[in-house]
């Protein structure tokens, strides 16, 4: 069996313009050879070492890595490869003698073709790093874009919140100024008359009215101070163990007369007669009084307000169902429900915000609210509940009513030592002032409702000029009527809607109207009278406690006054 050897390797390099062959020396003794990717033509010569009839020697080859099949060459003893890809190959050659006996083992040569630099491992590592850097850059760009977009959204959100807060504060200051100026009017006006010795009415009733409105001012100031103390963390809790059921019954009883005047059924229901809870009497009284006052204020006549109290883990199914979100079973639950107009769902999450007031469809286009208020009562209530380590929630359905639910934890494990009061330090402050003022607010509304029931009567024919007073505060209407009735036939309206109706029916000689009122503001009666009756009775006088009214509002009016608290201004109306 003849041995087979590779006798020559010739390669042609692309860099050689002349195409000169480069011969590898000592190739027959080598087992491995390395060439460049530029050697695009490789020619191998081989021989079978059988010297008898050499022209009959046969050859076959295969290039592993390129072609795994044996290729018969016959008597040809060379092979040429062109443009092989970079990589590793193995050239195997076998041969036979003149008798056709093959040397199956043959010979082999490992060929390594080096790649160009851009196909090396280092190049691929660089490509990977560049790709990773590009991905990282794209990711950073996308993250920065998302961050900038989120920052823009946050800025827009903050701007909207600031705008909303500014609007709420502006509305709050407008309302609070109205809330201050109205009682001040009812204090300063009678005082000026008494000082001038011109008052001719019932002095005792005037003193009661002045005291009531002074207490109203004090309550507003106390609410603002309480909020400021809570915000600064200077309001402390002084809780002691007491029977919360009897405490609630006492507060509810104090509202009974106000509910009766509005013909509202006020009901209290308690599962247990003796339920001991740690609470601060003064602060819990403000919480319950605020919620009860709102319930009575917003509940129409013939409605009902229900106060329920019980344990969350007691057999008190309705409270458990309505307040299922609270998981701690050891809690006292106070639930105050009314049959008022309800709160729109999109405003439920805002009613505990400071300065926020519920806007209904009838008041959405005006700065005037359906009911007077400052927008701090529920915010203060929530802060006081949380001061007790409790929770407050609200459920409401438009047209059916609203339910406020207060949860107070039982025991004193949740209280700090400084929050537990001694018997000597437990106080019950300002209860009479708070309840009396709340009752007076509801009484004013009840008086307004009573007046609405009788205000549809037509005025009797009289030679006296007709004066239409449009004012939502009953005390202000009473004060104006007492002073001006001898000289005028006074007709009253409690809001802008009724004012328009009375202006159309009575054709008054004079209109005195507040601008900030429920349902419709004071512009409506003035606008109606001006458009319809300017030719016959052009004289109009508008009195308002709101100094922010634009000058264009007074165009066409003969007399313009800022406040009826000024006795001289009232005299000017009387002498009109």
Pairwise CA distance, residues 293 & 310, whole Å: 21
Is-contact 23 65, C-beta < 8 A? no
**495 lies in the same domain as 375:** no
Name the residue with higher pLDDT: 194 or 174: 194
> Nearest 5°: CA angle at 546, between 545 and 552?
125
**Number of neighbouring beta carbons within 10 Å of residue 196:** 11
**442 lies in the same domain as 293:** yes
**For residue range 5-17, what is the model confidence (pLDDT) as tens digits?**
999 999 998 887 6
- Give how many domains the chain has, as a whole number: 3
Is-contact 384 286, C-beta < 8 A? yes
**379 lies in the same domain as 241:** yes
**474 lies in the same domain as 416:** no
389, 542, 382: which is closest to 467 by C-alpha?
Answer: 542
Q: Is the C-alpha dihedral spanning 363, 370, 403, 294 positive or negative?
A: positive
Q: Which residue has the tokens 């309001």?
A: 235
Q: Please report whether residue 142 resides in a domain.
A: no
pLDDT interval class at 133 (50, 70, 90):
very high
* pLDDT at 327 > cutoff 90: no
Q: For position 364, what pLDDT does the model report?
A: 42
pLDDT interval class at 355 (50, 70, 90):
low
Is-contact 540 557, C-beta < 8 A? yes
pLDDT interval class at 416 (50, 70, 90):
confident
Q: Please report whether residue 218 resides in a domain.
A: no
Q: Which of 415, 431, 448 is the C-terminal boundary of a domain?
A: 448
Q: Please report whether residue 194 resides in a domain.
A: no
Q: Which of 60, 89, 119 is the C-terminal boundary of a domain?
A: 119
Pairwise CA distance, residues 210 & 184, whole Å: 9
**546 lies in the same domain as 418:** no
**296 lies in the same domain as 399:** yes
Considering the entire predicted model, what is its pTM?
0.52
DSSP 8-state symbol, 119: G
CATH number for the domain harbouring residue 336: 3.30.565.10
Q: Where are the alpha helices (DSSP H) in 196-280?
A: 203-232, 244-254, 256-261
**263 lies in the same domain as 405:** yes
Pairwise CA distance, residues 487 & 482, whole Å: 10
Q: For position 483, what pLDDT does the model report?
A: 72
CATH number for the domain harbouring residue 538: 3.40.50.2300
Q: Which of 119, 150, 177 is the C-terminal boundary of a domain?
A: 119
Q: Please report whether residue 385 resides in a domain.
A: yes
CATH number for the domain harbouring residue 27: 2.60.40.10
**For residue range 250-297, what is the model confidence (pLDDT) as tens digits?**
999 988 888 888 889 999 998 888 899 999 988 899 899 889 988 998
Q: In which domain, by residue range, is 354 found?
A: 237-448
Name the residue with higher pLDDT: 494 or 483: 494
**513 lies in the same domain as 436:** no
Terminal Cα-to-Cα distance of the chain (whole angstroms): 145
* pLDDT at 575 > cutoff 70: no
Pairwise CA distance, residues 408 & 288, whole Å: 13
**For residue range 497-555, what is the model confidence (pLDDT) as tens digits?**
788 888 888 788 888 887 656 555 555 555 555 544 444 444 444 444 444 444 444 33
Q: For position 482, what pLDDT does the model report?
A: 74
CA atoms within 13 A on the CB side of 192: 17
Element (H, E) at 556: none
Question: pLDDT over 70 for what percent of the chain?
Answer: 75
């Amino acid at each position: 069996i003849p041995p087979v050897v590779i006798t020559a390797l010739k390669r042609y390099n692309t860099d050689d313009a002349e195409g000169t062959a480069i011969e590898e020396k000592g190739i027959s003794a080598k087992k491995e050879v390395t060439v460049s990717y530029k050697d695009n033509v490789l020619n191998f010569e081989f021989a079978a070492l059988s010297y008898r009839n050499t022209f009959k020697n046969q050859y076959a080859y295969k290039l592993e890595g390129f072609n795994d099949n044996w290729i018969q060459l016959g008597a040809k003893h060379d092979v040429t490869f062109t443009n092989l890809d970079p990589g590793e190959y193995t050239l195997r050659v076998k041969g036979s003698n003149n008798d056709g006996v093959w040397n199956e083992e043959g010979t082999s040569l490992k060929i390594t073709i080096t790649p160009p630099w851009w196909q090396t491992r280092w190049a691929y590592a660089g490509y990977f790093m560049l790709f990773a850097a590009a991905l990282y850059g794209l990711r950073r760009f996308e993250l920065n874009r998302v961050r900038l977009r989120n920052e823009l959204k946050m800025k827009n959100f903050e701007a909207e919140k600031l705008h909303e807060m500014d609007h709420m504060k502006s509305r709050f200051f407008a309302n609070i100024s109205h809330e201050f100026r109205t009682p001040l009017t009812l204090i300063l006006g009678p005082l000026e008359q008494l000082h001038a010795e011109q008052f001719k009415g019932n002095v005792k009733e005037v003193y009661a009215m002045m005291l009531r409105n002074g207490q109203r001012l004090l309550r507003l100031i106390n609410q603002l101070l309480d909020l400021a103390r809570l915000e600064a963390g200077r309001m402390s809790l002084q809780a002691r163990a007491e029977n919360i059921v009897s405490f609630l019954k006492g507060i509810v009883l104090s509202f009974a007369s106000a509910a009766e005047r509005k013909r509202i059924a006020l009901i209290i229901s308690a599962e247990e007669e003796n339920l001991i809870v740690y609470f601060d009497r003064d602060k819990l009284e403000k919480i319950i009084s605020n919620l009860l006052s709102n319930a009575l204020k917003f509940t129409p006549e013939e409605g009902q307000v229900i106060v329920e109290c019980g344990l969350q883990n007691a057999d008190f199914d309705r409270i458990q169902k309505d307040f299922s979100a609270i998981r701690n079973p050891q809690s006292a639950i106070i639930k105050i429900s009314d049959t008022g107009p309800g709160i729109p769902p999109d405003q439920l999450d805002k009613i505990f915000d400071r300065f926020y007031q519920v806007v209904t469809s009838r008041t959405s286009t005006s700065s005037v609210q359906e009911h007077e208020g400052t927008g701090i009562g529920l915010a203060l209530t929530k802060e006081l509940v949380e001061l007790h380590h409790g929770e407050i929630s609200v459920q409401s359905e438009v047209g059916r009513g609203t339910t406020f639910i207060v949860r107070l934890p039982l025991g004193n494990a949740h209280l700090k030592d400084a929050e537990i009061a001694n018997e000597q330090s437990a106080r019950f402050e300002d209860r009479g002032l708070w309840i009396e003022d709340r009752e007076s607010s509801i009484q004013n509304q009840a008086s307004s409702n009573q007046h609405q029931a009788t205000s549809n009567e037509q005025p009797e024919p009289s030679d006296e000029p007709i004066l239409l007073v449009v004012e939502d505060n009953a005390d202000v209407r009473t004060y104006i009527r007492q002073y001006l009735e001898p000289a005028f036939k006074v007709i009253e309206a409690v809001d802008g809607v009724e004012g328009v109706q009375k202006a159309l029916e009575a054709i008054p000689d004079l209109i005195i109207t507040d601008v900030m009122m429920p349902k419709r503001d004071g512009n409506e009666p003035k606008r109606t009278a001006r458009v319809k009756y300017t030719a016959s009775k052009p004289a109009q006088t508008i009195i308002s406690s709101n100094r922010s009214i634009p000058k264009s509002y007074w165009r066409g009016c003969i007399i313009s006054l800022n406040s009826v608290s000024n006795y001289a201004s009232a005299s000017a109306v009387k002498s009109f």
